Structure 1
Amino acid sequence: MRSEASEGTVLGADVCVVGGGPGGRALALALTRLGCDVVLLEKRDPARGGAPAFRGESVSPDGVRLLDGLGVWERLRKAAHRVDRLEIEDAGRRVLDVRFADFPYRYRHPVELAQPTLLAALAEPAGPLPGTCTVLEPATAVGLLVEGPAVTGVRASTPTGTVRVSAALTVGADGRYSAVRRLSGLAEHARQLPLERDVVWLKLPFPAEWDRRAYRVRIAGDSHGLFLPSTDGTVRVGLNIPKGGLRTLRAGGLGQLHARIGHLAPEAAEAARDGLRSWSETALLDIFTTELPRWSAPGVVLIGDAAHTLSPVLGQGVNHALADAVTLAPLVAEALDRDRRAHGRALLEALQHFQRRREPDVGRSRALQLRQERMFTLTAPAATALRRTVYRALDASPALRRRVLAPAYFPGQRPVAPPEQQDAASEAAPV
């Protein structure tokens, strides 16, 4: 529901979630299913458009599993576009072709899912829930309420005045530039690693000769691009450029951008020339990763990109935000119940336990992403030849593919015997 606030409004809740992206919405839903009362603050104004364009549409097989567990997958299935393959071409030759049906898991296929569709499903549960969720939008967190050493809520700015939300727990689900991370002091010891590139995102008409059920990575020397099918029938392109190189690229005009796309993917050259007519149709993503030694303090915790910013390789941001939400919710619900009865330290212990459970999966994804980033930027002939050799070895060995890719795509699943395999994404609708 949407609620409007007036000057000096005071609200009370078990949990205040700052950020209405996939992680924040999923956490709010999971908590209300467990009987908690939640206030969710979302800074974007729904009257002025939805989620950011281009990004956040790729949901891994494990993300599908989590959405199924939240009870929203059946409503999303027909709106999702199933992906069957991941292919990598280097110097014009295919060096890796991964078929997701070959993996021995119940949920095997990633899907593309428009983020507004996902957020709407998470915001509107199918039936009544034991807890409540009050949504304030637009609402921007401008300060934290503090009592002694503990955060006790949020002070938020809305178009109609200031709102104070008193809560036993405040959750920063507000992304890579998290205000809650900064306001809580958790950012003080953050380690940010800038990578060697940025990404220009854009959408193009889908090339006629391409399979619509494939993720494509194209590499040429030290340049590479991601070509991902979108649910609207276009192809979403993530084109790497040198760190801070947007001004140089734009100085060359759109023709230089068209040429760069055509160099990586000749099949998309015509679509780039005909479909990309203005720089306003592009968006820049500054690429970096962030590691925090602590994700929580008394009364406050971070999830998703606020706790562990990742790069866009393999589309892990949305999926780790969903996993954080689903892991955190039952720990918090149980701890709040215990603290109400015993006035103990259950919540603080639950937040520390949450980080211990989630950190290994996040660390494995980050390590895989950083290895891929390094491989993408190799330039010396011997190094690029080694890169192609590595990909071909991966392509030739099913066991090696499982070892390398399973931590990214299937971290929450155990292998199942072939007769028992049931792919919950198999009926996802094609574009």
Structure 2
Amino acid sequence: MNGPMETDVCVVGGGPAGLALALGLVRHGVRTTVLERSITGHRELRGESLSPDSVRLLDRFGLLRTLRHDALTVRRLEVTDGGHRVLSVDFAGFPYPYRFPVELPQLRLLDELAAAAAGHDGFRLLRGWSAAGLWHDHAGRTAGVRVVGPEGKRTIRARLTAVAEGRFGRLREEAGLRATVRPLDRDVLWFRLPRPAEWTEPAYRVRIRRDRHALVLPDANGSTVRVGFSLPKRGLRALRAAGIGALHERLREIVPELAVCVGKLPRDWSETALLDIFTAEVPIWHAPGVVLLGDAAHTLSPVLGQGVNHALGDAAALAPLVAGALEETDAVAAVDRATAEFQRRRARAVADSHRLQWRQERVFTWASRPAAAARRTAYRALQASPRLRARVLEPAYFAAQRGERADPADQGHEAYAPYEEERA
């Protein structure tokens, strides 16, 4: 067994939360080691939708212009229910400096975060390494991680361990930070299809028919879309038993524009990926020497694409708190105060997203004619009332920009200009 490695902060997980936290820390001079068990960084079911608040954060990280060639600006949010468009939201109408979401391949985002962090002293990214468990000092405080990698078993000693290993990680439980898991009534089957020619404007499209719905998200390349097709919980087995043609038929029913690409529809189930939908709420995100962030602290549903956005928001909030704490005379106590303050600052935004998603999930499952009619009425009320629309959508897209209002006549922050120049 080789000797221990030393670092200030050990980040477990090289996803958006972990790498963004690492970038924030090394910019403050904090030695940071990131563990990522994947050698390539490839992950299934990656979130690629970034809210306007996340675009703002990328600009503040200094990465937005670098990523402009790989991103697609999304202009609208549309909801169609029972074949009738009941909501169409133009993001240009919101009075904020950063008003448009973007689609950005997550691998590209991770590569850029890692490259930016590597430009600072004290950064170390260990690909192909996984955490075997927490390491504790003689007083029982978490003081690092036991790891397994290409060089065998090692110990990484750290003043703080940041757990960003996603929704299925084991370290959360080992730290005694237990989650309340709430399964939703559905799962989502994801696949890609060509973008219909008539869809000339990048938009988030929600299609509903009775208690079935699909999310259609544009890919950054502009030529394909990602389709998230809702299924009853554990309903994939029955659908597969009916054959791939049953999926095609449901697609024709809900999103007929996509079903015309007969030769491009999934030919077998290997071209699809199932996402088990649940939320996980952790009452306390921190313990002595350890803190959770991203999905490890608060797993959200795919509605309105909040997972990546909260991951980046967590990282941006946590990094300066930890950096400041490590400079104090009693850094041990200061770090614990910093992680508690981190949760205090972030908890409300996460709770707001949970509430919004649960309301939307319930609405999606309304199946009876009266319930479906009520749902359409609710969406039309949003369409008719800018004030109500702002109340519902701003917590999901613009929570961090309140107080930074811009002139609605502007086209948005100048950081969007490179996107528009590329598409012109």
Sort the Cα spacing of 1:126 and 1:141 in 2 relative to 1 into closer, same or farther, 3 A: closer
Between the aligned partners of 2:134 and 2:89, the Cα distance in structure 1 is: 47
Counterpart secondary structure, 2:261? helix
Counterpart of 1:4 in structure 2 is: none
User: 1:402-421 alignment to 2 at 5 Å?
Assistant: 402-414=390-402, 415-418=405-408
Between the aligned partners of 2:289 and 2:395, the Cα distance in structure 1 is: 31
Letter of the aligned partner of 2:142 in structure 1? Answer: V
Q: Which deviations, in whole Å up to 9, do the C-alpha atoms of 1:134-156 show, x marking residues without a partner?
A: 11111111111112231000011
Counterpart secondary structure, 2:67? helix
Q: Is the 8 A contact 2:92 2:408 kept in 1?
A: no
* 1:70 Cα offset (Å): 1.0
Q: Tell me whether 1:151 sits opposite 2:142 in the alignment.
A: yes
Q: Tell me whether 1:87 sits opposite 2:87 in the alignment.
A: no
Counterpart of 2:377 in structure 1 is: 389
Between the aligned partners of 2:366 and 2:2, the Cα distance in structure 1 is: 56
Letter of the aligned partner of 1:349 in structure 2? Answer: R
Q: Which runs of 5+ in 1 are unaligned?
A: 1-6
Q: Which deviations, in whole Å up to 9, do the C-alpha atoms of 1:76-95 show, x marking residues without a partner?
A: 12210000000000000000
Equivalent residue in structure 2 for 1:246, among 236, 239, 244: 236
Counterpart of 2:35 in structure 1 is: 41
Q: Please give the TM-score of this superposition, normalised by the length of structure 2.
A: 0.95
* 1:342 Cα offset (Å): 3.3
Letter of the aligned partner of 1:288 in structure 2? Answer: F
Q: How large is the Cα RMSD of the aligned pairs?
A: 1.6
* 1:344 Cα offset (Å): 5.5
Q: Which deviations, in whole Å up to 9, do the C-alpha atoms of 1:190-232 show, x marking residues without a partner?
A: 2111000000011011111113411100000000000011023
Sort the Cα spacing of 1:220 and 1:420 in 2 relative to 1 into closer, same or farther, 3 A: closer
Q: Tell me whether 1:161 sits opposite 2:152 in the alignment.
A: yes
Equivalent residue in structure 2 for 1:211, among 191, 194, 200: 200
Between the aligned partners of 2:118 and 2:185, the Cα distance in structure 1 is: 47
Counterpart of 1:202 in structure 2 is: 191
Counterpart of 1:141 in structure 2 is: 131
* 1:419 Cα offset (Å): 6.1
* 1:401 Cα offset (Å): 1.0
* 1:53 Cα offset (Å): 3.8
Q: Which runs of 4+ in 1 moved over 4 A?
A: none
Between the aligned partners of 1:206 and 1:310, the Cα distance in structure 2 is: 27
Sort the Cα spacing of 1:286 and 1:127 in 2 relative to 1 into closer, same or farther, 3 A: closer
Sort the Cα spacing of 1:426 and 1:404 in 2 relative to 1 into closer, same or farther, 3 A: farther
Between the aligned partners of 1:138 and 1:185, the Cα distance in structure 2 is: 26
Between the aligned partners of 1:377 and 1:275, the Cα distance in structure 2 is: 26
Sort the Cα spacing of 1:126 and 1:161 in 2 relative to 1 into closer, same or farther, 3 A: closer
Counterpart secondary structure, 1:74? coil
Q: Tell me whether 1:345 sits opposite 2:345 in the alignment.
A: no
Q: Which runs of 5+ in 2 are unaligned?
A: none
Between the aligned partners of 1:342 and 1:239, the Cα distance in structure 2 is: 52
Equivalent residue in structure 2 for 1:378, among 356, 359, 366: 366
Counterpart secondary structure, 1:63? helix
Letter of the aligned partner of 2:96 in structure 1? Answer: Y
User: 1:57-206 alignment to 2 at 5 Å?
Assistant: 57-125=48-116, 128-129=119-120, 131-147=121-137, 148-187=139-178, 190-206=179-195
What is the aligned residue count? 417
* 1:266 Cα offset (Å): 0.6
Q: Is the 8 A contact 2:278 2:299 kept in 1?
A: yes
Counterpart of 1:229 in structure 2 is: 218
Q: Please give the TM-score of this superposition, normalised by the length of structure 1.
A: 0.94
Letter of the aligned partner of 1:220 in structure 2? Answer: R
Q: Which deviations, in whole Å up to 9, do the C-alpha atoms of 1:34-73 show, x marking residues without a partner?
A: 1000010001121xxx432443110000010111111111
Counterpart of 2:249 in structure 1 is: 259
Using the aligned pairs only, state the percent identity.
Answer: 53
* 1:343 Cα offset (Å): 4.9
Q: Is the 8 A contact 1:224 1:240 kept in 2?
A: yes
Between the aligned partners of 1:272 and 1:134, the Cα distance in structure 2 is: 47
Q: Is the 8 A contact 2:45 2:275 kept in 1?
A: no
